[in-house]
């Protein structure tokens, strides 16, 4: 699936990956249910999906400090409702959420709340997930692992399918916006072991992609793994 013709082939919606990696065959469990307190790995260049009940808290850990983690949340019983960055920005009146901020869905209901952030708080809510088309514009001729496909495959691995790839919450992605409206693509400013915690405000499916970007420096040009766990006791 590495030719331009295949990558640009039209489909019935935006739910099918255009390439494959181990994401599709290595879920954390067949149904995406995690054992609270157990640390799971999202391998470099791959994605994982996990189910959360309302009230549960997920901790996402920047193991090495240099890795961006594209993060999505879908309402568990209706995947057409999902965490929406454009709606969240209007809800919180800023482009980067802070501790205490709710992240809302495309129906303007809180689905996650940012409850902890040990990092400097530099994240991104502006940029679409990298995809095969993005890598073509960067000069890549063959298929390249990408966050959009990782999301699709992580969902498929636990028996789900979303019809679209929403713009993710790009945790630790450093995209400063200048006064003239221009942006830069910079390496994360987080440190090894920094983490965020998100509380589910409704039953949901959280999908994470350890971003495979290795051409521009958003992962310090070296994609690595991230880790996550559900906090016990919620």
Tens-digit pLDDT profile for residues 30-47: 999 999 999 999 999 999
| Total tally of structural domains belonging to the chain | 1
Q: What is the average pLDDT value for the chain, to the nearest integer? A: 95
Domain assignment present for residue 21? The answer is no
- Is 133 within the bounds of a domain? yes
175 vs 156: CA distance, rounded Å:
30
- Asked if the structure places residue 186 within a domain, the reply is yes
Q: Pairing between strand 169-171 and 47-52?
A: unpaired
- Quick one: average pLDDT of 169-195? 97
Average pLDDT of 153-163? 97
Q: Please determine, for residue 175, whether its predicted confidence score (pLDDT) is greater than 80.
A: yes
For residue 10, being part of any structural domain is answered with: no
Residue 172 lies in domain: 29-230
Is 118 part of any domain? yes
Residue 157 belongs to a domain: yes
> Three-state SS string across 140-168, please?
CCCCCCCHHHHHHHHHHHCCCCCCCCCCC
Residue-wise pLDDT for 57-87, tens only, equals 999 999 999 999 999 999 999 999 999 999 9
DSSP 12: S
Q: Is the residue at 8 inside a domain?
A: no
Is residue 113 a contact partner of residue 201, using CB atoms and an 8 Å limit? yes
**Own/partner pairs for 103-108, CB < 8 Å, 24+ apart?**
103/73, 103/169, 103/198, 105/75, 105/81, 106/81, 106/82, 106/166, 107/81
pLDDT number for residue 233: 77
Q: Distance between CA 48 and CA 34 in Å, rounded?
A: 11
Establish if 15 belongs to a structural domain: no
| CA atoms 80, 85, 91, 97: torsion sign | positive
């Amino acid at each position: 699936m590495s030719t331009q013709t295949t990558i640009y082939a039209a489909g019935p919606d935006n739910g099918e990956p255009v390439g494959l990696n181990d994401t599709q065959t290595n879920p954390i469990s067949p149904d995406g249910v995690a054992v609270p307190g157990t640390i799971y790995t999202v391998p470099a260049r791959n994605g994982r999906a996990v189910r959360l009940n309302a009230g549960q808290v997920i901790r996402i850990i920047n193991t090495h400090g240099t890795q961006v983690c594209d993060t999505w949340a879908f309402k568990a019983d209706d995947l057409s409702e999902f965490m929406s960055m454009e709606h969240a920005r209007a809800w919180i009146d800023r482009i980067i959420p802070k501790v205490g901020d709710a992240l809302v869905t495309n129906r303007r209901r809180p689905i996650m709340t940012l409850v902890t952030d040990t990092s400097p708080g530099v994240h991104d809510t502006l940029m679409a997930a990298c995809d095969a088309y993005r890598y073509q514009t960067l000069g890549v001729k063959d298929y390249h692992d990408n966050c959009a496909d990782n999301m699709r495959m992580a969902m498929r691995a636990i028996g789900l399918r979303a019809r679209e790839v929403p713009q993710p919450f790009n945790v630790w992605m450093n995209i400063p916006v200048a006064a003239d409206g221009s942006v830069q693509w910079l390496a994360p400013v987080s440190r090894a072991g920094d983490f965020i915690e998100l509380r589910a405000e409704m039953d949901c499916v959280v999908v994470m992609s350890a971003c495979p970007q290795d051409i521009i420096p958003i992962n310090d040009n070296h994609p690595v793994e991230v880790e996550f766990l559900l906090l016990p006791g919620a």
